[in-house]
């Protein structure tokens, strides 16, 4: 431990006061003030000086400085312009930590990885703003970025959803898409008391280890997404109702039932009972029938 670490309540309050910083709830600003949790996050990412890290939302740099001590290059993407002068100050001991101003959802991350990391293996490590957790994770996964792993602090319920098994209440479209690309595990559960200000919910650190190739072979990833998203459209409805309403349309009900029969899936099942393999087989058969 270094007594000037940012992630202590005293130092964080000192920095906030020095700059007169006021939190914007709309940007999901909850800053971490617990060094043990930070250790767990950084260890889970398995960084080395040969590797790089992308952080989404550095805030005042609590996690960024930890990443900079482990990784050879850090790029931190921050949307809130008011934080830029603070980060310039707090990260001044770490010249290999670079802050990029902007909205991560609008950014071309493939180019950023290519331009800034000199071929290093890259992890995404972040305490994510809760209001955009799912779109950020979907972007990171669907764009097939060359990432080694993703370690993120997110709302506990969302972490449980991403690590869920078929048939469980938490299993949903996001689960299937995440597990298609990655193996997921929950590193630790985090009480809300370790943030300033405290959020209303508990959090968890989730790790996604990106697979070398997706969990199942699919002819078209785009079709796989469409089938998965359609199947979970309305949770209480059967698979066939969701597929009719959200994908095929009533006029192609017979064709859809015949596809389900060929693939051996009972149309009365609910989307949440299908394994990733079954979603893969279903989407492949739809593609082979000429798509939609």
In the complex, which residues of this chain contact ligand SAM (CB under 6 A)? 27-32, 56-59, 62-63, 77-80, 83, 103-105, 127, 129, 132
Between 25 and 289, whose beta carbon lies closer to ligand SAM?
A: 25
Between 198 and 258, whose beta carbon lies closer to ligand SAM?
A: 198
As measured in angstroms, the least distance from the Cβ of 33 to ligand SAM is: 8
Cα–Cα distance for residue pair 129/116, rounded to 1 Å: 24
What's 263's DSSP letter? H
Using CB atoms within 10 Å of the CB of residue 4, give its burial: 0 to 12 exposed, 13 to 18 middle, 19+ buried: exposed
Between 86 and 259, whose beta carbon lies closer to ligand SAM?
A: 86
Between 12 and 283, whose beta carbon lies closer to ligand SAM?
A: 12
Q: Would you mind telling me the total number of residues written for the chain in this entry? A: 292
Between 42 and 77, whose beta carbon lies closer to ligand SAM?
A: 77
As measured in angstroms, the least distance from the Cβ of 91 to ligand SAM is: 12
Q: What SS3 class is residue 169?
A: coil
As measured in angstroms, the least distance from the Cβ of 115 to ligand SAM is: 18
As measured in angstroms, the least distance from the Cβ of 97 to ligand SAM is: 12
Torsion of CA 166, 170, 172, 177, to 10 degrees: -80
What is the chain's alpha carbon radius of gyration, rounded to the nearest angstrom?
A: 21
As measured in angstroms, the least distance from the Cβ of 28 to ligand SAM is: 5
Between 3 and 81, whose beta carbon lies closer to ligand SAM?
A: 81
Cα–Cα distance for residue pair 98/145, rounded to 1 Å: 20
As measured in angstroms, the least distance from the Cβ of 111 to ligand SAM is: 16
Between 134 and 283, whose beta carbon lies closer to ligand SAM?
A: 134
* Max Cα distance, the chain (Å): 68
DSSP string for residues in 203-230: EEEEEEEEPSS-SS--S-HHHHHHHHHH
The position carrying tokens 């950014």 is 107
- State which residue has the least CB distance to ligand SAM: 57
Strand pairing partners for 105?
Answer: none
As measured in angstroms, the least distance from the Cβ of 76 to ligand SAM is: 8
Cα–Cα distance for residue pair 292/287, rounded to 1 Å: 8
Contact status, residue 265 vs residue 249, Cβ threshold 8 Å? no
């Amino acid at each position: 431990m270094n007594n000037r670490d940012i992630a202590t309540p005293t130092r964080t309050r000192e920095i906030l006061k020095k700059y007169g910083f006021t939190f914007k709830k709309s940007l999901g600003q909850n800053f971490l003030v617990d060094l043990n949790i930070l250790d767990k996050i950084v260890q889970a990412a398995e960084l080395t000086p040969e590797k790089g890290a992308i952080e989404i939302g550095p805030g005042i740099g609590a996690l960024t400085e930890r990443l900079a001590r482990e990784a050879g290059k850090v790029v931190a993407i921050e949307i809130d312009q008011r934080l830029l002068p603070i980060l310039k100050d707090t990260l001044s001991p770490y010249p290999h930590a670079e802050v990029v101003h902007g909205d991560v959802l609008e950014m071309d991350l493939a180019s950023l990885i290519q331009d800034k990391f000199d071929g290093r293996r890259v992890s995404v490590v972040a305490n994510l703003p809760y209001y955009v957790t799912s779109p950020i994770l979907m972007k990171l996964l669907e764009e097939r970025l060359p990432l080694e792993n993703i370690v993120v602090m997110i709302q506990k319920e969302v972490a449980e959803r991403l690590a869920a098994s078929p048939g469980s209440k938490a299993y949903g479209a996001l689960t299937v898409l995440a597990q298609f690309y990655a193996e997921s595990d929950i590193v630790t559960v985090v009480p809300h008391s370790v943030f300033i200000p405290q959020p209303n919910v508990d959090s968890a650190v989730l790790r996604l280890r990106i697979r070398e190739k997706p969990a199942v072979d699919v002819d078209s990833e785009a079709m796989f997404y469409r089938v998965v998203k359609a199947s979970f459209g309305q949770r209480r409805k059967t698979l066939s109702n969701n597929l009719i309403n959200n994908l095929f349309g009533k006029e192609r009900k017979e064709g859809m039932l015949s596809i389900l029969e060929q693939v051996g899936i009972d149309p009365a099942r609910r989307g949440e009972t299908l394994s990733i393999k079954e979603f893969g087989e279903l989407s492949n058969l739809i593609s082979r029938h000429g798509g939609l």
